[in-house]
Amino acid sequence: MIYRESYIFRKVKNLGLAASKVLPLALVGLSSVICLSSCSAQQAGTATAAVAGSPHLEQWLKNHKAEEFKGQVWARVKLIEPQQYPYGLIVDAMLNPYSLPRHAVGTVTASGLQPKPWKDEEDVAKGLAWIAPKDDNDWLNAGQYSAWFALPMGKGVTPYAGFMVRPKAETQPKAVVLQVEFATEASENAVFHVAKEKTEEVVGARAGDGFVTSSLTVRIPGEGGLKGLQTVETFLEILWLGSSPGHQFCL
């Protein structure tokens, strides 16, 4: 595994936040190098926080008990901008950043999640789990929801997952605006958090005959209950909002 300190890492250290929140800024295989590029307040947009917490979590708690959540999170994505943007989404994770146990998940296409074609114990020696769409209609596109897919369950203090955008053509813009919905089951009625952000550009991450051009990093739960639900935040939510539970990051 390869790490590279980025502007975000330095910014967080300067803010005095816990180092455990910023370790896995890059999710990489031995044959791939991903480093988050500089992030500015202009890129991040305006961070706003609801005083009472996330409205999605509040609504979820009206219909469920916090103890029902055992740590399993489902997600689906929708690319907001730019328009007409065919892409695939590679999902990769670090379940315990302190011991570097990389966990490759697979590629999300219009057909749903295509699992990695190897065993878990081979993750560290493999590159990104890119499975090419089977035809032109199998690429995801702007405005289209992906199918729900399960995120791996964390095992350490600060597990993270990376959502990596792999455009169909290298001429497409690099950074995009991505909306991610998080739920306790594969249903819009179980959504407890929604993030909409501009992705961070990445460099040198080969995926098949092309490259990943940007990514969004998400903290995933290492436990269940209310604390586990509140753990689910994107890295920019953690950075700009100080990791306060329930905050919504808006462009």
Model confidence pTM above 0.75: yes
Convert 143-168 into a string of H (helix), E (strand) and C (coil): CCECCCEECCCCCCCCCEEEEEEEEC
What is the distance between the alpha carbons of residues 111 and 202, in angstroms, rounded to a whole number?
25
3-state secondary structure at position 232:
coil
Q: Which pLDDT tens digits describe the chain residue by residue (251 residues)?
A: 333 333 333 333 443 433 333 333 334 332 232 233 333 333 333 333 322 357 899 999 999 999 999 999 999 999 999 999 999 999 999 987 677 678 999 999 999 999 999 998 899 889 999 999 999 999 999 999 999 999 998 876 778 999 999 999 999 999 999 999 999 999 999 999 999 999 999 988 999 999 999 999 999 998 999 999 999 999 888 887 554 444 333 33
